[in-house]
Chains A and B, each alone.
Chain A
């Protein structure tokens, strides 16, 4: 499942997983160490007691002989509540005296200690218990003395320890994983909310805000900071919009009066039979001024992302077809072959008017700079990043070193200084590209210029890209 897979890939889950593993290892080591220390101490205590008993009884034997020993063993065996065990036997391990019934089946280990099981009488029957002790051979009289300590309780604790340890570690891992999943899920949910909001904002809805849960945790702090940032951006955008509006209004009003006056003078002069050539030229110049002003304003607005409200689903093949159809007669008149190469389904989310205008500018440039007999190709192609809209011509092209410069406003290369145009065509194309979250790519067409825009396919959130134009040098 994709969702589950995504959960496992989150940073929170990874951190939790590493932590749980580390924790499990530490717990195992700690418990192991505790076990080792405890068992050493308990064993040591038991061995000390046994040693003391043996020493005491040997002294008795040496001082008082067999009789004394028998007496002592008998007395000690009768003490109730003691964990000490005694058994004095003859050479054939037959019981003489002591609180053990049989000589246990056990072998002495290196330190002369033996461990064995024995039966002890309880209220209703017998129970098997574990003991540890030492055997003393009384050589002269051919007797055996077994002195032992009941270590059943420690033994049980020890085995309990060894059987529960893996379970404990397993449980820690399991709980840790479940906790990690829950934590990641929670984090993921909150990050998703932020991502969703960012996506909507990038798509143009600046009124969206990141939800704040009210828990005042670091996510809330982040959300509040993001929201404050968004408030500020929205205010700035609104301000920019107001500035372009008032610049537009304050410049268009006098331009309008100027043009009106010129038209009036033209009409008056024409009625009087005067020479209207001067005034006609002035009107043409005014119109050029207006065209430049409109183009600048459009670039500024597009750069500011002001017309997000007019985004719609576009089929690039259709846009390309329409523009090709618009320019085909012009190309034919200039003796240039205008070709259209449609690609597969190419739906993008965009502003039809802006995309069409950008493409028109590119085709217009292509036709303007390609000599008769040349070729201008409009192409829609599918790529890994999206759908590419390309205009390639067989004109003089743009030298690699000039390519980053030509998209700047009013930049016109020496070679084209005298052809008509505002010098804003490519700037607008670059602004339109930026508006759609993409870039204008200028390349060598060997010969000529290849200009392309790669649009993300519809349905994908537009990535945020820096405002820049990348150029590939022909030499590469």
Chain B
């Protein structure tokens, strides 16, 4: 299944002044978006006397790895090693993503391609759930977690991520693009619905997998445990980062280093999957 993107042709109706002023607008706001990140990246490599220099500089002059060494020492002295925080975040992110892609795809297939009683209602509820944030349900969710005995375990963060509704929504919209003839042909050959789902639908929606992966990655990678995790050895990298940042001036260097680690991974992931994600987003629209 391919989407033919329109090749940029020179169109008429383009005034030079218009292009120029739009370009300036883009440049100014682009700078606003990217400068804080550039500042943070540079801070991670600044020696302490440069971080505390007046006037402050955007770019590093004498780059050093000291901040990273500080960070490792700082966390090496705490009884939970730094690698443990990384493992926790990677485990939560990985499990959450695998479960979500599988469950959301399985649910999206019948919603997109079958007709059955309750279908419309289910999809409407999913769309409605895009209209509020988890903050609304925080308290009952905590109660449900404690009934299920999931408090203070990875699963309290992982399992709700399986049922993240934006992922199901995007997957369903994308699956609607699969030509029906493809599915009909398989049915005539005697394939079961599960087989069709696994061998025909899933390979055809690879761009949407990547999109779900990056959306979930963004949420889970930045998660601090949502208040469900108390044990220090189960806490996430982001939680550790917050503690370092709260250490104030003495830890400014280590805080900059941890910020760089936190942001470099999702940004790299996005760089490599950008075109696939945009392909998926093309079907994201709400058609009444």
- Do A and B interact with each other, yes or no? no
Chain A interface (Cβ < 8 Å from any Cβ of B) = none
